[in-house]
Each structure stands twice: as structure tokens, then as C-alpha cells.
Structure 1
Amino acid sequence: MDLVFVYMTAASREEAMRIGRALVEERLAACVNVLGGMTSVYRWEGAVETAEETVFIAKTRRDLFEPLAARVRELHSYTVPCIVELPVERGNPAYLDWLRAETG
């Protein structure tokens, strides 16, 4: 399939909204969902850390993943931001057509 969801996390809702708006305005994503209220437990530089984060998910075409990821890295406050491509295998055909039309 030619469409993907890109799962990402940010330090705050404001950061996720800022990055998400840029991705949509620049047509790197048709839509970005911003989900609040997430707590992450992770290992960083040898220590186990806990942090409040915001998940955001961009809906885009597979061929736009690399430019989208590069743009997120430019705008993100993290040294190593979470940016993960998840393939979209099936969905509402009209919705998938809309995603294609709104990107690129």
C-alpha cells in the first residue's frame, strides 16, 4: 500500500501541534492527530527515565516519509525523536483517496 501512518512523540502538546501544523501546511501529511496524556518509561544514557509526552500521528504517503521525518527532526526538541512508519494495509477507500489527494 502507498499510505502510511507515522507515529511520533513530543515533549508537549504545544510542540506536537507546532510540528503537526507545519507538516500539514507543507503538504507532507494530510492530517495529524495529537493525543495527550501519555507517560513514557524508557532507558536513556544508562538510566531508566519517566516523562510525560504527547503522541502525534501523521497520515501520509509512503514516498513522503523521508522528507516528513527530516522536517520533524529539524523542528523537534529531542536529540533522537521517535519517528516510526506504520503501513496502512486497508481502509475506507474514500478516506484513503482523500489522504492521497491532500499530500504532495
Structure 2
Amino acid sequence: MPAEHVVVASTTDSESEARSLAAGAIEARLGACAQIVGPVTSVFHWEGAVQTEHEWRVEIKTAADRVPALTAHLQAAHSYDVPEIIAMPIEGGSAAYLSWLVDETR
């Protein structure tokens, strides 16, 4: 059974871009709520080498049917060539919160 609610996460190299990505998603009603966590340390392969960078993580709570539009929005607004955009199912939680989450994405 597919999840009805998800958290979409992305990372970026500045707090200001993280705030912009979060605000843009909420203003477009593609997410109900977003948190910014950071800085975090990311270690990854890029251009043939292991990179270590400080990044800010944006976590956006949304309804599953909004994920394609939210993904497109984040890709268009993001400064990275290949931004991390992943969707993780929410398996449970407060019924009132999850109902609010869906209402705010309409």
C-alpha cells in the first residue's frame, strides 16, 4: 500500500538557498510545512573525488500526489546540477496533522 504522506528532502550549500527552497514550496502549496536543518556535513562522490561539504537540509512534508510537482519545482529552483531530491514515506502519525498536511497542499 503506497504512503499517502511523504517527507521530501533536499540539501543545498547555503542557509539562504535552503530558506528560499522551503518558502517557495510552501508558497506554491506543494508542501504543508518545511524544516531546515543545518549545517550538516555531507560526504559524497562528485567529479571523480570524495567531497566533504557543509550543507543545509530542507525537509518538506507533503501529500504523495504532490511529489512530482514538488520535485519539478525543487529541480527548477535549485542551484546544484544534480540536487538531492528524495521522498520518504510517512508511515503513521497524528490523524489531525496528516489531514492538515493534505489540506494545506490543495
TM-score (norm 2): 0.95
Corresponding letter in the other structure for 1:71: H
Post-superposition shift, 1:11?
A: 1.1
Could you tell me how far apart the structure 2 residues matched to 1:90 and 1:25 are?
25
SS at match of 1:95: helix
Alignment match, 2:11: 9
> Any runs of at least 4 consecutive aligned residues in structure 1 with deviations exceeding 6 A, and if so which?
none
Post-superposition shift, 1:56?
A: 0.7
| Percent pairwise identity | 41
Could you tell me how far apart the structure 1 residues matched to 2:69 and 2:102 are?
16
SS at match of 1:94: helix
SS at match of 1:64: helix
Root mean square deviation of aligned Cα = 0.7
SS at match of 1:42: strand
Give 1:75's match in structure 2, choosing from 54, 74, 77.
77
Alignment match, 2:44: 42
Uncovered stretches (5+) of structure 2, i.e. residues with no partner: none
Post-superposition shift, 1:51?
A: 0.7
**How many residue pairs are counted as aligned between the two chains?**
104
Could you tell me how far apart the structure 2 residues matched to 1:37 and 1:22 are?
20
Post-superposition shift, 1:7?
A: 1.3
Could you tell me how far apart the structure 2 residues matched to 1:81 and 1:27 are?
21
